[in-house]
Every structure is written in structure tokens, then in C-alpha cells.
């Protein structure tokens, strides 16, 4: 079972599941030719506003691109989450989209009708440099539509290494071992599991990061789920994922104010050691490094444990991507931009500003020696093929209300089975809109 999974995603690289960030980037340098662009072209790029480091990475690449090609890049920002998704859909439908678009890969891309809206990059000469595991997540009807932004991300648990050492804790390889660690931490008066449901997206991580374990038990689940041959609520391994979330709350392992605590406050709890473990996706390392640069190497990572130590591995998020607007007036220049973006030179530039939070999706590009300690914790799993994609990269179905559902399960308002059943209903409308067979 795991061999099949490993082939689907043998090498996961790079990080950045959540591209994001910005505040506008006008490359102010003028070309050395006569004080202005040699061809007068300015490309526009839309990206979300979640990560200042990613913004700096794009700015660095854009500045170098301008030096080489005398083409400027203006960066526009959009909100993250569902608000940003709706804005992207609106701009595409009204013909008001930028030349280049930074957006998610996987299921969220499918919802944008990429064949209608984005340029087919399948036959571009640089495509053989990009890992197939990434290309699968930006492919629709055998056409590849994007190039990777940043690195693969890992879903699992960030933890405070100093506190683990002080308490004599070992990295858990099974869920039972994790729960024993939680109990020991709770006895000290510290928060064992940081809950930040004020930002509901963080409540999803435990069920989502469990996909490696789901596939270990039910390897055909993504295909069967997509074809409406099975449901989350009728698949024991999936219900177990929701049950893990409920169990954390039932046993009192979260901070009592988890409903009013937000993401940045959760990061501070982790860094300070008042909270010892935080289920997150590894793109959060960028925020930790930005806010607490002296503490970043005290933060470690371990995968979400399953039932067996012999089946311990990482659920990985494929990087987001840059897409080219099919109706752009500057398609040729945008193609040059995308081609430059995946060169080793540009990737190293990007990583110098936006440190990788996992392996890279482009061949012949090495991670810097000073990667975060938590990233080093992930690499053995990638190197040994003990990885599997998150469900959203194996199925086009991703219901919009999952954060609300997981907040209810994690907050004790509904049961794990009820949460899984709610999510089954949540994806029905989307499945019909996508015209999937069996729905």
C-alpha cells in the first residue's frame, strides 16, 4: 500500500502551500538601455497577502528578471482564504485578471476552470526540470498549467524542543504515544496542544494531516470518494481522523481559550514553551522565523502519528503555482517570466528571501545548508519515500465549509461521525458543479 503511495509522491519538495503575501512590488530599477523598459512592457502578478517573506522572494526574482529582460513586474495582493478565492474567480469571470496569477494547486485550481482561463504550459521546454509529483497537481485533462512557487509543505506537529528535552519526551510514532506525551505535558500545567480556532483554518490540520494514515488503511479512498463510491462518514480510517481532533478536546489537552486564540498568539505560545505542540502545516515556519528569528531552530517537527509505528509518514502539501492568464496581452513576456522563475538562479534568489519549509519541486536545485531545523526533521521521510499527498491533491473535491466543521468537532459541538457526514454533504454541490461522474 505504502509503495503505491510513495510512487504517487516519491519526492516532495519545497514549501510553500500557502503562497502568498504582498503589498505591491514595483520594480523601481530602470533598464540600463535608455532609462526605461526597452519594450515598455509591465507584467502584473496577483498573489495572496499571507506571507511577507514570499512577497520578498517574488520581488527579488522580479528585479533580476527586469535586469535581464527589461520587463517590469507589478505585484498586486488579495486576501487569503475563501474571500481571496472568490476574488480570483470574480476577476477571471470579468476579464480583469492580472497577467500572472499565484494560486493553489490541486482541488482549488480545478474549481477555476483552468482550461478556459490559463495558458497550457505542457510543451514548454523547462517542464522536464519540474518534478512529476508537482505537475500532477496542476494538470487537468493531461494539460499542465502552472510552475511551482516555493517548496512542498508538511502537515503534522510543530513542537518546542527545549520543553520536550526538559520533560524527557520522545517523538511519538503512534497516536497512543502522542496522547501519553499530552498527558505528561498537561500534568506540568503547560498546554499540550495549542488550539487557535479564532482562525478556523487551523482547526483542519489534524484531520488533513492524517491522510498518510488514511491511505495506509484505505489506499483507494481518494478515487472512491471522488467517484461517489464511498463517503467520509462510512470510511473508518477517515472517521478516525475526525475522532483524533475530538479526542484532543475531550481530554482537555488544548488551552481553555482555544476559541478566542488566533494563529499568531498560538505561535507565541509555542515559542515561549507555554504551549508545547501545535498541529500545523509547515509553511508556518516562515511566520515563526519572521516573528522570532532567535527561536526558529528550537522548533521541531514530527508527522501526525497513526496507529502503527511501522506506518509512520508525512502528509505533504504540493506547492502553489504561477499561472499565466490566457487572455493576457503579454503572453510571450509572461512565458519568459515563468521560464526564468524555475531556473536555479531564480529559485536560489527566491529561497534567499523566502526560506524553504520543505523540499523543492524543481530538479537540480539543492536546499541551503541553513534550512530550518524542522525542515531537517522532515527530510528523512521524503528521502525514504514515506510521504503521501494531502487529499486535495488526489481528489478535486474540497468543500468550502471544512474549517467550520472541524471547529465544531474540535470544540465538542458535534461528534466525529457527524463531522464526517457534514463534510460529505459539503462536497456534494461542488462535485455536481465540476460534473464528476457518479454524482
For residue 3, the model assigns a pLDDT of 39
**Average pLDDT of the chain, as a whole number:** 90
List, run by run, the mean pLDDT of 10-residue segments along the chain (439 residues). Answer: 40 37 37 45 92 90 97 94 90 97 92 96 96 90 96 97 98 98 98 97 97 97 97 98 98 98 98 98 93 97 96 94 97 98 96 92 88 95 90 92 97 98 94 91
Query: What pLDDT is recorded for position 39?
Result: 65
Nearest to 45 by CA among 67, 18, 25, 71: 25
Cα gap 274→276, rounded to integer Å: 6
Identify the pLDDT of residue 18: 34
Angle of CA points 130, 132, 134, to nearest 5°: 75
- Taking Cα atoms as reference points, which of 208, 162, 242, 241 lies closest to residue 316? 208
Please count the other Cβ atoms lying within 10 Å of the Cβ belonging to residue 186.
17
301 grid coordinates: 517537527
Which pLDDT score is estimated for 383?
86
Residue 383 grid cell: 528521502
Residue 142 Cα to chain centre, angstroms: 23
What pLDDT does 40 receive?
80
Q: In CATH terms, are 11-152+318-379 and 154-316+399-433 the same topology?
A: yes
Report pLDDT digits (tens) over 94-120: 999 999 999 999 988 988 999 999 999
List phi, psi (to 5°) of 381.
-65, -40
pLDDT value of residue 369: 85
> What distance in Å separates the CA atoms of residue 395 and residue 173, rounded to the nearest whole number?
27
Question: Quick one: fold of 11-152+318-379?
Answer: D-Maltodextrin-Binding Protein; domain 2 (3.40.190)
- Tell me what pLDDT residue 385 has: 86
Neighbours of 130 (CB within 10 A): 20
| Domain assignments of the chain as residue spans, ordered by start | 11-152+318-379, 154-316+399-433
Question: Are 226 and 432 contacting, i.e. CB atoms less than 8 angstroms apart?
Answer: no
The DSSP call for residue 436 is -
Q: What is the DSSP string of 129-162?
A: GB-HHHHHHTEETTEE-EEEESB-EEEEEEEEHH
DSSP H or E stretch at residue 405: helix 402-410
Q: Which CATH architecture has domain 154-316+399-433?
A: 3-Layer(aba) Sandwich (3.40)
Alpha-carbon Rg of the chain, whole angstroms?
21
pTM strictly above 0.85: no
Rounded CA-CA distance 102/147 in Å is 10
Residue for cell digits 529561497? 351
Please measure the distance between the N-terminal and C-terminal CA atoms of the chain and give it in whole angstroms.
Answer: 27
Neighbour-count burial for 359-390, b at 16+ CB within 10 Å, e otherwise: bbbbeebebeeebbebbebbeebbeebbbbbb
Amino acid at each position: 500500500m505504502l509503495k503505491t503511495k510513495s510512487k504517487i509522491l516519491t519526492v516532495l519538495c519545497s514549501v510553500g502551500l500557502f503562497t502568498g503575501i504582498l503589498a505591491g512590488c514595483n520594480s523601481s530599477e530602470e533598464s540600463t538601455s535608455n532609462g526605461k523598459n526597452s519594450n515598455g512592457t509591465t507584467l502584473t502578478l496577483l498573489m495572496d497577502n499571507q506571507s511577507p517573506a514570499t512577497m520578498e522572494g517574488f520581488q527579488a526574482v522580479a528585479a533580476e528578471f527586469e535586469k535581464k529582460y527589461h520587463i517590469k513586474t507589478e505585484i498586486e495582493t488579495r486576501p487569503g482564504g475563501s474571500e481571496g478565492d472568490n476574488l480570483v474567480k470574480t476577476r477571471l469571470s470579468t476579464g480583469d485578471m492580472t497577467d500572472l496569477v499565484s494560486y493553489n494547486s490541486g482541488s482549488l485550481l480545478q474549481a477555476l476552470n483552468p482550461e478556459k482561463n490559463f495558458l497550457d504550459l505542457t510543451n514548454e521546454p523547462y517542464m522536464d526540470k519540474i518534478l512529476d509529483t508537482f505537475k500532477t497537481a496542476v494538470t487537468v485533462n493531461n494539460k499542465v498549467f502552472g510552475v511551482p512557487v516555493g517548496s512542498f509543505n508538511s502537515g503534522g506537529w510543530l513542537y518546542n524542543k527545549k520543553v520536550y528535552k526538559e520533560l524527557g519526551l520522545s517523538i511519538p510514532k503512534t497516536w497512543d504515544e502522542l496522547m501519553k506525551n499530552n498527558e505528561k505535558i498537561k500534568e506540568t500545567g503547560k498546554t499540550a496542544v495549542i488550539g487557535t480556532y479564532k482562525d478556523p483554518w487551523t482547526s483542519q490540520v489534524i484531520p488533513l494531516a492524517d491522510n498518510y494514515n488514511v491511505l495506509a488503511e484505505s489506499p483507494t479512498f481518494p478515487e472512491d470518494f471522488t467517484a461517489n463510491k464511498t463517503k467520509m462518514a462510512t470510511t473508518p480510517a477517515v472517521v478516525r481522523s475526525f475522532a483524533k481532533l475530538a479526542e484532543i478536546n475531550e481530554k482537555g489537552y488544548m488551552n481553555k481559550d482555544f476559541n478566542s486564540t488566533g494563529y499568531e498568539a498560538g505561535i507565541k505560545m509555542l515559542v515561549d514553551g507555554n504551549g508545547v505542540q501545535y498541529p500545523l502545516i509547515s509553511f508556518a515556519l516562515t511566520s515563526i522565523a519572521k516573528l522570532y528569528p532567535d527561536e526558529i531552530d528550537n522548533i521541531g517537527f514530527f508527522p501526525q502519528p497513526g496507529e502503527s509505528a511501522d506506518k509512520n509518514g508525512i502528509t505533504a502539501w504540493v506547492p502553489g503555482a504561477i499561472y499565466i492568464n490566457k487572455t493576457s496581452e503579454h503572453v510571450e513576456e509572461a512565458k519568459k517570466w515563468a521560464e526564468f522563475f524555475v531556473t536555479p538562479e531564480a529559485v536560489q534568489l527566491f529561497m534567499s528571501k523566502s526560506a524553504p519549509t520543505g523540499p523543492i519541486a524543481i530538479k537540480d536545485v539543492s536546499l541551503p545548508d541553513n534550512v530550518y531545523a524542522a525542515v531537517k526533521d522532515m527530510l528523512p521521510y521524503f528521502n525514504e519515500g514515506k510521504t503521501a499527498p494531502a487529499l486535495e491533491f488526489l481528489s478535486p473535491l474540497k468543500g468550502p465549509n471544512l474549517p467550520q466543521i472541524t471547529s465544531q468537532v474540535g470544540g465538542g459541538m458535534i461528534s466525529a461521525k457527524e463531522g464526517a457526514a457534514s463534510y460529505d454533504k459539503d462536497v456534494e454541490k461542488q462535485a455536481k458543479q465540476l460534473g464528476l461522474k457518479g454524482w
